[in-house]
Amino acid sequence: MAEHVEAGKMKVFALNSNRPLAEKIAKAAGVTLGKSTIKHFSDGEIQISIDESIRGDELFLIQSVSDPVNTNLMELLIMVDAARRASAEKINVVVPYYGYSRADRKARSREPITAKLIASMMQMDGVDRVITLDLHAAQLQGFFDIPVDHLQSDRLLTSYFDQNPRLADEDIVVVAPDHAGVSRARRLAELLGAPIAIIDNRSETENAAHPDAVIGNVTGKHAILVDDSIDTAIRITVSAEALKRAGAADVFACATHAVLSGDATQRIDDSVLEKVVITDSIQLPEDKQSDKFEILSVGELFGKAIDLIYHEQPVDSLFHGSLKRQKQ
């Protein structure tokens, strides 16, 4: 009779995209970050070494595919390869921000579906599971033939508005910045017990956002715009202007991923937005910080998910109840 083999240890490793978040995740999971070395040569090549034994262990590799997107993606893929060759038992990747997720279909002829390409690359590299947060479209989970745990930040974002004494329940309206965002707005509205409104924005891209009208009553209300990410901030700021013209008392915004390309932070600073509630799924450099940002940490959310997955427990408990709000 074969002897019982003890399950491998849980080990959590951070790459370069967002080490502060990785430290929070590891702390919430009850472990310390594993030891590894990541070097970049002058020509851009990446060299990674894992500086401790991981033979037979279950790994959780933390990396957002954020700016610099291609560099961070390659770091992740190289780390997975290193882990597989070092005989890790399971390789789970924790991707707080899944880059290229907007390229999820062929909108025009001869276009790639890059989100599917990234999924295929991860699988071919030897990834056993993906843990991610607020994908651009939930259907992206179907691009994988391995388990995907799709976490949501709705309850964390809701906690800010629940705790803000300025926002009386009956005076809140949750607003989708376009028709595609209605389901996301409805989820937040259900948590807040508020009605929804829609910006009638028929532009195909964020860079050409010109709202025509507001569908729903926002007069005298505290309007909360909700989106999965803020990139150039054009859509969110012109939507805020449309809401003010429609009679909103003030306008807040919330989004999971603060991509903030180019002059996005300056646009937000110059806008009518009161506050923009975001998470730390993407690490913000100093030049992208703003007094209008309220940054909530998803470290506890991911840490709990990792602990549940490692102990083979369902993660549906993370979608019910409330999470303690953490400032970055």
Does the pLDDT at position 327 exceed 60? Answer: no
Mean pLDDT of 42-57: 95
pLDDT value, residue 7 = 56
Strand 293-296 and strand 36-40: the pairing is: unpaired
C-alpha 295/C-alpha 283 separation (Å) is: 10
213 band by pLDDT with thresholds 50, 70 and 90: confident
Compute the C-alpha angle 116/100/145, nearest 5°. Answer: 25
Between the alpha carbon of residue 301 and those of residues 77, 229, 298, 317, the distances in Å are 24, 18, 5, 11
Vertex 60, ends 121 and 324: CA angle to 5°?
120
Q: List the beta bridge partners of residue 62.
A: 14, 94
Q: In the prediction, which pLDDT does 214 show?
A: 92
Q: Give residue-wise pLDDT tens across range 214-261.
A: 999 999 999 999 999 999 999 999 999 999 999 999 999 999 999 999
Indicate the pLDDT class of residue 64, thresholds 50, 70 and 90.
Answer: very high
Q: Look at residue 304 in the predicted model and tell me its pLDDT.
A: 95
Residue 321 confidence (pLDDT) above 60:
no
Q: What is the pLDDT of residue 200?
A: 87
Can you give the pTM of this predicted structure? 0.90
Residues 27-36 pLDDT 10s: 999 999 999 9
3-state secondary structure of 152: coil
In whole angstroms, what is the distance from residue 111 CA to residue 92 CA?
30
For residue 288, CA distances in Å to 19, 189, 293, 324, 325 come to 17, 29, 10, 26, 22
pLDDT at 2: 41
Q: What angle do CA 211, 214, 215 make, to 5 degrees?
A: 130
| pLDDT given at position 202 | 66
- Of 99-103, 238-242, 299-303, 319-323, minimum mean pLDDT range: 319-323
